[in-house]
Amino acid sequence: MIMRMDIQNIRAFLAVSETASFSRAGERLHLTQPAISKRIQAMELFLDIKLFDRIGKSVQLTEAGQALIPGYRRILDELEESERIISNLRQTTRGHLRFATSHHIGLHRLPAVLRQFSRQYPEVDLELQFMDSEQACQQVLHGEIELGIVTLPSQPDARLTLQTIWHDPMHCVVAADHPLASKEKVSRKQLLQQPSILPSSDTYTRALINRALQLDEHSNILMETNYLETIKAMVETGLGWGVIPDSMLDASLKIVAVKTGKMQRELGVVFHKARTRSSPANALLEILNGNHT
Amino acid sequence: MIMRMDIQNIRAFLAVSETASFSRAGERLHLTQPAISKRIQAMELFLDIKLFDRIGKSVQLTEAGQALIPGYRRILDELEESERIISNLRQTTRGHLRFATSHHIGLHRLPAVLRQFSRQYPEVDLELQFMDSEQACQQVLHGEIELGIVTLPSQPDARLTLQTIWHDPMHCVVAADHPLASKEKVSRKQLLQQPSILPSSDTYTRALINRALQLDEHSNILMETNYLETIKAMVETGLGWGVIPDSMLDASLKIVAVKTGKMQRELGVVFHKARTRSSPANALLEILNGNHT
DNA sequence: CGTGTTTACGAAACGCGTAAAAATC
DNA sequence: GATTTTTACGCGTTTCGTAAACACG
């Protein structure tokens, strides 16, 4: 007869110890009295010690029985607590959220979102890391971060879900005093003769630019950098042309009047298709999707 | 489908969370892998929340799963602890022992026993109450005390077990200057004409004396008291004759040369037949039985 | 294709309830 | 004789293992 300690046994034991009666314990647990009797017998057999003295009509704890009560009660408390944890988890949004973004998005798009989020969910502890879009996708795949708020890849891994939050049109720009600035029309050939400052070659954004302008490795690239801010600053010095999002345009830069393929990045959120999202992650997703401008 | 949280489920859950694999968890618990799978499914159904993400070959905890680990681990710890408590209880003698004795035994017989006991079982916390033999028997029956070390009743309750530890012969005594002190032979009639100092009428000892001397309510009783020390002191003043145990005799008292029935108390220990004794109680019983003088 | 999880199904074990028996007051 | 626990027995459910199916890399 293989015996197992069982939570139902513990319930029965505590019910008997509190009611000092097998039959009343049965009522409390919605069981018949023989069922209680069997469970207590099973426990006594398993522990190889008597838990109750059945003296006449009364049932009284033995030394061993008394010694077990506090621990067993703690077990039931822990069980209740665990169910409470689950239902809290379902209802309220709290806990930890680890996610990543790019410098550009962190600088230009995220501040408003994070302000709303932290106001709405003050109990969530945010952990934001800055990294390239590509690296972020990798870490999402591996589960090192839950979300990536990045430039969306055009050919994403099938295990990822992508949601576009912002459209980010880009244009070729030059400094106001650049030779191309004043021309009404610029051909692709003219453009490519000029030195350029572009995002690094392994980025999604650069891939997009390559496609739109049909760039190849022979193109006249003066400088590569991952930081669009840097591109903008370099272009402003007149060193060459560059590509930046429209949202970063200002009076110091002129859009080059060149015909290109569609040059628009999709910025948005990336997460793992199969992995269950935490409630903070879901909350952030809702805010992002509710605020697309 | 009625679901119950079960300790086996908790074991399975922790095994999976620690091995990050259903099959390795199965090995650890000596179960097949499908059995583990079913248990985890049952838990997820019961808690209505996903505990693991099965991503490809890897198994990873969800937020909910992580939140459950500490509490579940505490439950298993408590279970282990409870078994440890039981096996300690079986091996070593410690804890609490509540028992009672009479003033006479506490004064003349028990000190040596208790000295040995507390030296041998220093971890036992003794709670000794003084009360009449009759009251002690009642409290043993009700479970208020575990043992009574008292004058044994001649017609005990059937639910009690009695063990004689000491024989306690008694004699009629008078002060050295009492009229009966010098007589070589004293008849029962002569004795009963003299005033006496005897134990209270509701005590076992008094019942014994009544039987031995065939006393009735017309007897010449000067004083009744529960304290044999008091009887001795009163007899020493010469107020009358009394009955005290031989062990209390000294030069100031003379045994009256009267023929009586056998006048011997049995002193010993009383406990409940059906009630499981604590290990301290068993230890004290052993010492008592090993030291009968 | 190999590794790992889920599903399907049959056999064994378990747990419960009803009813009868035993014990105690 | 009334009340409470134990024992006996039958039935429905659960749980496990084997084997097949499925999923993923």
CA–CA distance, A164 with A288 (Å, rounded to integer): 9
Closest CA to B246 of B260, B234, B233, B232: B232
Alpha carbon distance, N-terminus to C-terminus of chain A:
68
B75 has a chain A CB within 8 A of its CB: yes
A122 has a chain B CB within 8 A of its CB: no
Angstrom distance, A58 CA to C24 C1': 10
- Residues above pLDDT 90, as percent of chain B: 66
**Residue-wise pLDDT tens digits, B250-292:** 999 999 988 888 899 999 999 998 888 898 999 999 999 985 4
Chain CA centroid to CA B5, Å: 39
Mean pLDDT of A282-291: 88
Residue A45 DSSP label: H
A274: exposed, middle or buried (C-beta count within 10 Å: 0-12, 13-18, 19+)?
A: exposed
For residue B174, give both structure tokens: 């008078």
CA–CA distance, B147 with B124 (Å, rounded to integer): 15
Of B5, B81, B159, Cβ closest to residue A71: B81
Residue type, A107: L
Mean pLDDT of A176-193: 89
pLDDT at B230 (0 to 100)? 92
pLDDT value at B110 more than 70? yes
A264 strand D contact, CB < 7 Å:
no
**Residue-wise pLDDT tens digits, B229-257:** 999 999 999 999 999 999 999 999 999 98
Q: How far is B278 from chain A (nearest CA, A)?
A: 6
For residue B111, give both structure tokens: 């000190």
**Residue-wise pLDDT tens digits, A123-157:** 899 999 999 999 999 999 988 999 999 999 988 88
**Residue-wise pLDDT tens digits, A63-91:** 999 999 999 999 999 999 898 899 888 88
pLDDT value at A1 more than 90? no
**Residue-wise pLDDT tens digits, A101-119:** 999 999 999 999 999 999 9
Mean pLDDT of A191-198: 92
Closest CA to B163 of B290, B36, B33, B1: B290
A96 φ, ψ to 5°?
-125, 140
pLDDT value at A4 more than 80? no
Closest CA to A144 of A98, A80, A190: A98
Angle at B289 between CA B284 and CA B290, to 5 degrees: 95
pLDDT at A241 (0 to 100)? 94
Mean pLDDT of A234-250: 93
pLDDT value at A293 more than 80? no
- Residues above pLDDT 90, as percent of chain A: 67
Is residue A155 within 8 Å of residue A166, measured between CB atoms? Answer: no
Higher local confidence (pLDDT), A64 or B293: A64
B94 strand C contact, CB < 7 Å:
no
A62 neighbourhood in chain B, CB within 8 Å: 275-276, 278
Angstrom distance, B66 CA to C1 C1': 34
Domain B2-91 sits in CATH at 1.10.10.10
User: Looking at the domain B96-293, which fold is it?
Assistant: D-Maltodextrin-Binding Protein; domain 2 (3.40.190)
pLDDT at B162 (0 to 100)? 94
CA–CA distance, A288 with A101 (Å, rounded to integer): 13
Instruction: Kindly compute the dihedral angle of the four CA atoms of residues A182, A186, A191, A196, in this order, to the nearest 10 degrees.
Output: 40
Higher local confidence (pLDDT), B269 or B92: B269
Domain segments of chain A as ranges: 2-91, 96-293
Q: Is pTM beyond 0.85 here?
A: no
In which band, very low, low, confident or very high, does the pLDDT at A229 lie, cut at 50, 70 and 90?
very high
**Residue-wise pLDDT tens digits, B180-190:** 988 888 888 88
B276 strand D contact, CB < 7 Å:
no
A73 has a chain B CB within 8 A of its CB: no
* Residue whose token pair is 């980025």: A203
